[in-house]
Amino acid sequence: MTNFLAIVLCAVFYGSLVSPLPVSDVSSAGTPTSSTSDAASPSPTVPLASDDPNFPLWNDTTTIDPQPERGTLGASILGPQNVEIDRQNPDILAPPTTDQGTVGNAKWPFSLSKIQLNTGGWVRQQNVQQMPIATGVNMRLEAGAIRELHWHQTAEWAYVLSVRDLEGSTQITAVDQLGRNYVATVNTGDLWYFPPGIPHSLQATNDSADGTEFLLIFPDGSFNDDDTLLLTDWLAHTPKEVIAKNFQDDISDWNDIPGEQLYIFPGVPPPDNQQPPQSPAGEIPEPFSFPFSKVEPTQYTGGTVKIADSTTFNVSTEIAVAEITVEPGAMREMHWHPNQNEWGFFLEGNARVTLFAGTAIAQTFDYQPGDISYIPTGFGHYVENTGNTTLRFLEIFNSAIFQDVSLAQWLALTPPALVKQHLQLSDSTIAKFNRSKGVIVGGLGVNQPGV
């Protein structure tokens, strides 16, 4: 009896603290009327979200000793510490209090990928051994150097990087299954794409004395660039009498072919107006290159976006990309991608990204130039500029079409009363939600304190 009375008294007490949830009424004419109060009411079922600040506690401009401490939480490291890595990852060492659980590794610096050195250039890669989804390859060719004639069992997509702010370029060649050929010079910020099985080559021009450097993406995350099918490797492992018979030549004509693969080797820089031999089948009708650098970006309040997918770069049926700039204090809005995992590459600036995986799991990562990010399909996230310079990065997808879903647009286009009952927001706050995608939003609201 005593326990029953205590339960009744508690129910009466808590019931007196919880006010009814205000919602909009509908008049007899069918038009919404304002609620009795515009003020937000506390949730009757769960505690309110914390207002504790969760800014990064240091960045590359500060001299703070990085330690796993945030407010009263944590304690300093007494044992060995890699201070330089900890400086680059404030949200790993001292995570926001909103983080909970782990989502798996979502960061890989290309600086940790072993480089294969060749005469004329180098190559390094990231694949499923480091992170899921696509294989990313970073390759450098000195002026005139050649990535030899080869083909892959998967598609190849590329973005030409700047070389110390100089305009390097790469000349590509290809022949398709119908015997149609293609030659083009691909400039800094531009793209190329080869479908699976299409033989091709890459060569640095001398537009820059430093040659060229580019990012290669292969949709198969288990792909290894060492598994490429190379011209010289094939011929080195084919009897010369077979080669001579195939080409209807004398075997002595093949005396000086390489005994093993060349992969990357020095060459004579090609002219920018190089023309291929005339083919009876003609030239490839859909270009394998795309002048992405000349695409006019869309301006938003906090930065810019430009997109290339199969709707604009028609042959790129397996890879879509968005190149994004975010100004200091601004952010790529909270969103997710409904159709594919995201493979990201950071070109300039500093960023932090929180991945929301559902079931109360969220984790924050920090990124610098040369870092790779990975965000699984459907994971909510944002990309915030945490530095003092423009942030520039690529969002890349194994998809023919770029797609994203905006959190703000979703709520703006949902009945306001429903949103209010979820989040306890005022009518005036909900009315300000953007019904169009903000994409890159400016640094309004709470400002980050100096660190």
Q: What is the dihedral of CA 407, 408, 414, 419, to 10 degrees?
A: 90
Q: List beta partners, residue 118.
A: 121
Break the chain into its structural domains and give their ranges: 113-290, 301-441
Q: Determine whether the annotation assigns residue 337 to a binding site.
A: yes
In the block, residue with structure tokens 């769960």: 46
Q: Determine whether the annotation assigns residue 237 to a binding site.
A: no
| Residue 389 contacts residue 324 (beta carbons within 8 Å) | no
Q: Report the pLDDT value the prediction gives residue 13, as an integer from 0 to 100.
A: 37
Does 301-441 match 113-290 at the fold level?
Answer: yes
Confidence of residue 30 (pLDDT cuts 50, 70, 90): very low
CA dist 69 and 62 (Å) reads 16
Average pLDDT, the chain: 89
CA dist 291 and 189 (Å) reads 8
Which CATH number is 301-441 given? 2.60.120.10
Among left, alpha and beta (phi > 0; psi -120 to 50; other), residue 165 is left
Q: Report the pLDDT value the prediction gives residue 287, as an integer from 0 to 100.
A: 98
CA 72 to chain centre: 35
Q: Report the pLDDT value the prediction gives residue 444, as an integer from 0 to 100.
A: 66
Closest C-alpha among 111, 99, 147, 59 to residue 329: 59
| Residue 213 contacts residue 168 (beta carbons within 8 Å) | yes
CA 245 to chain centre: 48
> Average pLDDT, stretch 295-307?
98
Which residues, in sequence order, are CB contacts of 328 under 8 Å at separation 6+?
385, 387, 388, 389, 390, 443
Q: Determine whether the annotation assigns residue 156 to a binding site.
A: yes
Q: Determine whether the annotation assigns residue 150 to a binding site.
A: yes
CA dist 395 and 363 (Å) reads 19
Supply the residues annotated as catalytic. 395
Q: List beta partners, residue 151.
A: 229
Residue predicted with more confidence, 40 or 297: 297
CA dist 94 and 72 (Å) reads 12
The percentage of residues in the chain with a pLDDT greater than 90, rounded to a whole number, is: 79
pLDDT in tens, 93-117: 999 999 999 998 999 999 999 999 9
Query: 3-state class of 250 per DSSP?
Result: coil
What is this structure's pTM?
0.87
pLDDT over 50 at 25, yes or no? no
pLDDT over 50 at 27, yes or no? no
Cα-based distances in Å from 61 to 58, 88, 326: 8, 11, 18
Domain 113-290 has CATH 2.60.120.10: yes
pLDDT in tens, 146-188: 999 999 999 999 999 986 667 899 999 999 999 999 999 999 9
Centre a 10 Å sphere on the Cβ of residue 153 and count the other Cβ atoms it contains.
Answer: 12
Q: Report the pLDDT value the prediction gives residue 226, as an integer from 0 to 100.
A: 79
Q: Report the pLDDT value the prediction gives residue 21, as an integer from 0 to 100.
A: 29
Q: Report the pLDDT value the prediction gives residue 306, as an integer from 0 to 100.
A: 98
pLDDT over 70 at 446, yes or no? no
